[in-house]
Amino acid sequence: MTISIALAQINPTVGDLKGNAAQIVDAAVTARKMGCSLIVYPELCITGYPPEDLLLRRDFIDDSMQALDQVMRSVDGIAMILGHPHRQDEKLYNAASFVLEGTVLGSYYKQDLPNYSVFDEKRYFEAGEEAGVVEFEGVRVGLTICEDIWRHGPVEQSVEAGARLVININASPYHIDEVDRAEQRLPVVSERARTLGVPIVYVNQVGLQDELVFDGASFVVDAAGTLTQRGRYFKEQVLVSEFDLDPDPVPRKAGIESTRDVVESAYQALVLGVHDYVNKNGFTAGVVVGLSGGIDSALTLAIAADALGPDRVTAVMMPSRYTADMSLEDARRQADSLGIDYHIIPIEPMFKSFLDGLGELFKGQAKDETEENLQARCRGVILMAISNKFSRMVLTTGNKSEMAVGYATLYGDMAGGFAVIKDVPKTLVYRLARYRNSIDPVIPERVLTRPPSAELRPDQKDVDSLPDYAILDPILERYIELDQSPGEIIAAGFEPEVVYRVARMVDVNEYKRRQAPPGVRITKRAFGRDRRYPITSGYKGTPIF
């Protein structure tokens, strides 16, 4: 005897209760046609994840419970395990319910509520205490939710209650690391399965929600902890897993999506992030990108074209008196290679108008960053005007290294709706560009090899203002992602003067980052959701005694 279980990697949108319910029903119909008797959905699939402070609204909880009822009434012929918020005795729980023919046969309340990094579930939910075990087709099935699988307790509890198969539903966001994110989850789940002697079904959602991108890659391991099946990365999918019953469930080996390297995964995360953010927020006309001829805007443009299609992307080159001819040539070449609509709007007339208008006030003052920033702000005004007129979202092009040290202009190159590579260090920008060119060489080679420059003054280079990125990025990684002190970084072999200078630049530019648009989170410690530092702070991170 066998049973077929469908793993539904769906892409819900937070708050779109009707749309999420429709996805759930559609997946159930598909799974039923494929001969499945049970379909499993991600964590909080009814509401989308994370709902954040929507969970504090009574009307939202009422409406989400109605959406669950509608799903239950709309699906027959297949059992469902799905995630939803559940209110009981004025307490709110993160729940997983087992539903069959319009009836809830059992529910489980998440016990381990994460409250670190991007998670703050203790703000909203009460923790459950009891195992959730239901019987289906002669099999005792244990229900768990996301973090429960990472901690000893809930899974063991369900097995002690008689579960011979454990289901774990997830909304586990992606981040780049030394190995693929899905490969980080596998050892933990495999160890649980091997130790407890039960197969585990791990279902994860797909898509972007604001800054968090979810990579899917749902999988099944057998009772020995061996991977028997894995779904697609960054793609919606109804994955079917067959289990032999003899009498305990044994998953059959099936297709295993191959792992990919960290650069490929990061690129796919960025493409999916742009696709979902633009479409879920209703920018059907597409996006506009300021294309400078430099590496950051080149990568951003390629990502946008891959995410939305070239017909929904507009590139605008805005040369100034300092723009090199090669920048114009390379920008046009890339736009042409991608088949993107391309425009040139010189900023010299408006830049000169600003200089003339401020001339009397600035008389006797030496030129400095003020004049450089004016050029960036001219460009920001142009892009926002195009956005207003043609309903195209502006994609900003600054990378994480620049965001970290404030090498960006408020209301200039930071002006826009979505910051595609704001969590991508500069050195990774080059690796991503090389990866994209390995598929199709759309970024001119000269863009990859010439020294990076903002081109806001004669012969300007980034290294005039910053340490070389090969030095800067490792310092930033230690200071931002690993929370190391300047002293610890210096002890690792970096020059003290450089370390203190970089740390100071990071600290004093928090006010800029607070005003930056959201962007795809791909590292373990992104600005905003992860790293939350005060703007006003007297702590300098340097020796005080």
Assess whether pLDDT exceeds 80 at residue 49.
yes
Is there a contact between 436 and 304 (Cβ–Cβ < 8 Å)? no
Q: Is residue 359 part of a domain?
A: yes
Q: Is residue 95 part of a domain?
A: yes
> What are the DSSP E strand ranges found in 400-531?
418-419
For residue 180, the model assigns a pLDDT of 53
pLDDT one-digit tens code per residue, 472-484: 999 999 999 999 9
CATH number for the domain harbouring residue 242: 3.60.110.10
Q: How many other C-beta atoms lie within 10 A of the C-beta of residue 241? A: 26
- State whether 305 and 246 are in the same domain: no
For residue 182, the model assigns a pLDDT of 57
- State whether 208 and 273 are in the same domain: no
The span from the CA of 162 to the CA of 179, in Å, is: 35
Assess whether pLDDT exceeds 70 at residue 350.
yes
Q: Is residue 489 part of a domain?
A: no
Q: Is residue 304 part of a domain?
A: yes
For residue 543, the model assigns a pLDDT of 55
Q: Is residue 150 part of a domain?
A: yes
DSSP string, 260-278: --HHHHHHHHHHHHHHHHH
Six-digit token pair at 434? 């090389």
- State whether 235 and 384 are in the same domain: no
Q: For 148-154, what is the mean pLDDT?
A: 91
pLDDT one-digit tens code per residue, 371-399: 999 999 999 999 999 999 999 999 999 99
| Structural domain for 49, as ranges | 2-254
By annotation, the residues acting in catalysis are 43, 110, 146
pLDDT one-digit tens code per residue, 528-544: 888 888 888 888 766 54
Domain boundary among 424, 446, 463: 463
The structural domain count of the chain equals 2
pLDDT one-digit tens code per residue, 445-462: 999 999 888 777 888 788
| Cis omega (within 30 of 0) for bond into 247 | yes
CATH number for the domain harbouring residue 387: 3.40.50.620
- State whether 169 and 302 are in the same domain: no
pLDDT one-digit tens code per residue, 98-110: 999 999 999 999 9
* Predicted confidence band of residue 288 (pLDDT cuts 50, 70, 90): very high
Query: In this prediction, what percent of the chain has a pLDDT beyond 70?
Result: 98
- State whether 269 and 337 are in the same domain: yes
Six-digit token pair at 512? 């800029």
pTM of the model: 0.94
- State whether 132 and 153 are in the same domain: yes
Q: Is residue 17 part of a domain?
A: yes
Q: For 243-255, what is the mean pLDDT?
A: 87
For residue 364, the model assigns a pLDDT of 93
Domain boundary among 463, 496, 529: 463
Q: For 441-448, what is the mean pLDDT?
A: 95
* Predicted confidence band of residue 494 (pLDDT cuts 50, 70, 90): very high
Q: Is residue 61 part of a domain?
A: yes
- State whether 19 and 84 are in the same domain: yes
- State whether 347 and 214 are in the same domain: no
Is there a contact between 152 and 112 (Cβ–Cβ < 8 Å)? no
- State whether 211 and 238 are in the same domain: yes
- State whether 422 and 452 are in the same domain: yes
Averaged pLDDT of the chain:
93
For residue 178, the model assigns a pLDDT of 52
Closest C-alpha among 304, 370, 369 to residue 340: 304
Assess whether pLDDT exceeds 50 at residue 17.
yes
- State whether 236 and 274 are in the same domain: no
* Predicted confidence band of residue 193 (pLDDT cuts 50, 70, 90): very high
- State whether 215 and 325 are in the same domain: no
Domain boundary among 396, 428, 463: 463
Assess whether pLDDT exceeds 50 at residue 351.
yes
